[in-house]
A and B are shown apart, each in its own frame.
Chain A
Amino acid sequence: MSEQRRWLRWWDYAIALGIAALYVVLLLNTVGTLGYARDEGFYFSAAESYGRWFELLVRAPKEALTRAAVDRAWSINHEHPALAKSAFALSWLLLHKKWHLFPMEGTAFRFPGMLSAGLVLFILYLWGTRARSRAAGIAAALGFALMPRAFYHAHLDCFDIPIVAAWVACAYAYWRSLTGGGLRWAIATGVLFGLALNTKHNSWFLPITFVAHAVLLQVPSLRKELRTGTSRIPAALLAMALIGPLLFWATWPWIWNDTAQRLEGYVAFHMGHEYYNMEFLGVTYWKPPMPRGYAWVMTAATVPLITLVCAAAGMVTIAASKLRGGSERAHEGMTALLWLLAIGVNYAAWLSTSTPIFGGTKHWMTAYPFLALFAGAGLDWVLSKARQSGVPVIAHKVAGPVLIGAACVASPLAQTLRSHPWGLSNYTPLVGGAAGGATLGLNRGFWGFTTGAVLPWLNQHAGHGETICLHDTAWASWDMLVRDGRVRRDLRTTMSPADASIGLYHHEPHMQGVEYQYWVAHGTSTPVHVPLYDGVPVIWILARPGATH
Chain B
Amino acid sequence: MKWSHLAFLLIPVLGVGELAAHFWFAKRPPNESQWKAAAPRLSALRKEADLVVVAPQWAEPVARQVLGDAVMPMRDVARPDESRYAAATEISILGKRSEYTRGWRELERHDEGKFVVRRLENPAHQKVLYDFVDHVSAEAATASLVTDEARACEWTDRAPMSSGGLGGPPMFPARRFVCPGAPMHVFVGVTVVEDQDYLPRRCIMMHAPDKGSIEATFREVPLGKEIRGHSGMRMIIERELTGAPILLEVFVDGEKVGQDEHRDGQYWKPWRIELGPHAGKTASVTFKVSSPREAQRQMCWEADTR
- Tell me the A residues contacting B by CB distance below 8 Å: 284, 286, 304-306, 309-310, 313, 378-379, 381-382, 385-386, 388-391, 394, 403-404, 407-411, 414-415, 418, 428-430, 432-436, 438-439, 495-499, 507, 509-521, 524-532, 534-537, 540
Evaluate contact between A306 and B15: CB separation under 8 angstroms: yes
B204 to nearest A CB, angstroms? 12
Evaluate contact between B12 and A516: CB separation under 8 angstroms: no
* Residue in chain B with minimal CB distance to A444: B58
Measured between beta carbons, the chain B residues less than 8 angstroms from A394 are: 9
Enumerate B121-136 residues with CB–CB distance to A below 8 Å: none
Known: A304-B18, A519-B200. A530 touches B12 (CB 8 A): no
Evaluate contact between A536 and B29: CB separation under 8 angstroms: yes
Q: Which 9 A-B pairs have the closest CB atoms?
A: A535-B29, A433-B25, A407-B12, A429-B21, A385-B8, A520-B171, A411-B19, A516-B192, A498-B161
Question: Which of B15, B23, B68, B166 sits near A526, CB closer than 8 Å?
Answer: B68
A448 to nearest B CB, angstroms? 12
A88 to nearest B CB, angstroms? 28
Evaluate contact between B26 and A509: CB separation under 8 angstroms: no
B237 to nearest A CB, angstroms? 9
Evaluate contact between A526 and B192: CB separation under 8 angstroms: no
Known: A382-B11, A516-B200. A525 touches B64 (CB 8 A): yes
* Residue in chain A with minimal CB distance to B63: A530
B274 to nearest A CB, angstroms? 32
B1 within 8 A of A: yes
Measured between beta carbons, the chain B residues less than 8 angstroms from A391 are: 6
Enumerate B56-80 residues with CB–CB distance to A below 8 Å: 56, 58-59, 61-62, 64-65, 68-69, 72-74, 77-78
B282 within 8 A of A: no
B282 to nearest A CB, angstroms? 30
Q: How far is the CA of A411 from the CA of B24 in the complex (A)?
A: 12
B11 to nearest A CB, angstroms? 5
B9 to nearest A CB, angstroms? 7
A286, A498, A518: which has the most chain B beta carbons within 10 Å?
A498
B232 within 8 A of A: no
B13, B96, B165, B191: which has the most chain A beta carbons within 10 Å?
B165
Measured between beta carbons, the chain B residues less than 8 angstroms from A385 are: 5, 8
Question: Which of A306, A404, A514, A527 sits near B64, CB closer than 8 Å?
Answer: A527
Q: How far is the CA of A499 from the CA of B194 in the complex (A)?
A: 20
Known: A407-B12, A429-B25, A439-B56. A530 touches B62 (CB 8 A): yes
B150 within 8 A of A: no
Interface bracket on B: 35 or more
B6, B58, B69, B96: which has the most chain A beta carbons within 10 Å?
B58
Starting from the known contacts A386-B9, A434-B26, A520-B190, 16 additional A-B residue pairs (CB-CB under 8 Å) come to: A391-B6, A404-B12, A409-B15, A411-B15, A428-B18, A433-B28, A499-B161, A513-B166, A513-B235, A514-B165, A516-B200, A527-B65, A530-B62, A530-B65, A535-B30, A537-B58
Ordered by A's residue number, 25 sampled pairs between the chains whose C-beta atoms are within 8 Å are A305-B14, A306-B15, A386-B8, A389-B1, A390-B1, A403-B12, A407-B13, A414-B19, A435-B94, A436-B25, A438-B58, A439-B58, A498-B162, A499-B161, A510-B235, A513-B236, A516-B78, A516-B194, A516-B200, A520-B190, A525-B72, A525-B73, A525-B74, A525-B200, A530-B62
Measured between beta carbons, the chain A residues less than 8 angstroms from B77 are: 525
A530 to nearest B CB, angstroms? 5
Evaluate contact between A495 and B165: CB separation under 8 angstroms: yes
B199 to nearest A CB, angstroms? 8
Known: A438-B56, A497-B165. A517 touches B170 (CB 8 A): yes
A358 to nearest B CB, angstroms? 14
Evaluate contact between B15 and A410: CB separation under 8 angstroms: yes
Measured between beta carbons, the chain A residues less than 8 angstroms from B22 are: 411, 414-415, 418, 428-429, 433
B147 within 8 A of A: no
A139 to nearest B CB, angstroms? 11
Q: How far is the CA of A430 from the CA of B19 in the complex (A)?
A: 11
Question: Which of A309, A434, A531 sits near B14, CB closer than 8 Å?
Answer: A309
Question: Which of A408, A495, A497 sits near B15, CB closer than 8 Å?
Answer: A408
B173 within 8 A of A: yes
B193 within 8 A of A: yes
Evaluate contact between A514 and B166: CB separation under 8 angstroms: yes
Q: How far is the CA of A414 from the CA of B21 in the complex (A)?
A: 11
Measured between beta carbons, the chain B residues less than 8 angstroms from A381 are: 8
A409, A410, A495, A528: which has the most chain B beta carbons within 10 Å?
A410
Measured between beta carbons, the chain B residues less than 8 angstroms from A526 are: 64-65, 68-69, 72
B31 within 8 A of A: yes
Measured between beta carbons, the chain A residues less than 8 angstroms from B94 are: 435, 439
